[in-house]
């Protein structure tokens, strides 16, 4: 089955630093990947759609300069939280679906828990 790997699973950083999270589709090609953010006890909020070889599409209210997304290959998308602050602490989770797969069912990575001190 489709497998999505996300790394790191957790990261702690100091305020003002940048953190990069990687999302890889291990056994399929993904022209589109999705980045979600989840606060404790809340739902998943779509942040952006990552498109291979082109600019990401950000949802309303998401700062594109704050959350840099790069989708340089058909198997890798990265999310960089720039100049992180404590309010950026959250659970970030990526997802993708195989091209031609079942009704575009999303396969999720295991998520990355970011804590900004």
Judged by CB, which is closer to another protein: 22, or 108? 108
- CA torsion 54→59→60→64, rounded to 10°? -50
With contact defined as beta carbons under 8 Å apart, do 83 and 22 qualify? no
Q: Which residues contact 42 (CB under 8 A, 6 or more apart)?
A: none
The one segment of 19-27, 45-53, 64-72, 75-83 that binds another protein by CB under 8 A: 45-53
Count CB atoms within 10 A of the CB of residue 44: 15
Of 3, 12, 72, 105, the residue at the interface with another protein (CB under 8 A) is 105
Judged by CB, which is closer to another protein: 2, or 13? 2
Of 13, 80, 108, 115, the residue at the interface with another protein (CB under 8 A) is 108
Give the interface with another protein as residue ranges (CB under 8 A).
31-32, 34, 36, 42-46, 49, 51, 91, 93, 95, 102-108, 110-111, 113
């Amino acid at each position: 089955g489709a497998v999505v790997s996300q790394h790191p699973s957790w990261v702690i950083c100091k305020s003002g630093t940048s953190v990069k999270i990687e999302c890889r589709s291990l056994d399929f090609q993904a022209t589109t990947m999705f980045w979600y953010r989840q606060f404790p006890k809340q739902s998943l909020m779509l942040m952006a759609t990552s498109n291979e070889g082109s600019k990401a599409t950000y949802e309303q209210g998401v700062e594109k300069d704050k959350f840099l997304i790069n989708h340089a290959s058909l198997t890798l998308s990265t999310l960089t939280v720039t100049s992180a602050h404590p309010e950026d602490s959250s659970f970030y989770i990526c997802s993708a679906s195989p091209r031609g797969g079942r009704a575009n069912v999303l396969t999720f990575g295991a998520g990355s828990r970011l804590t900004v001190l």
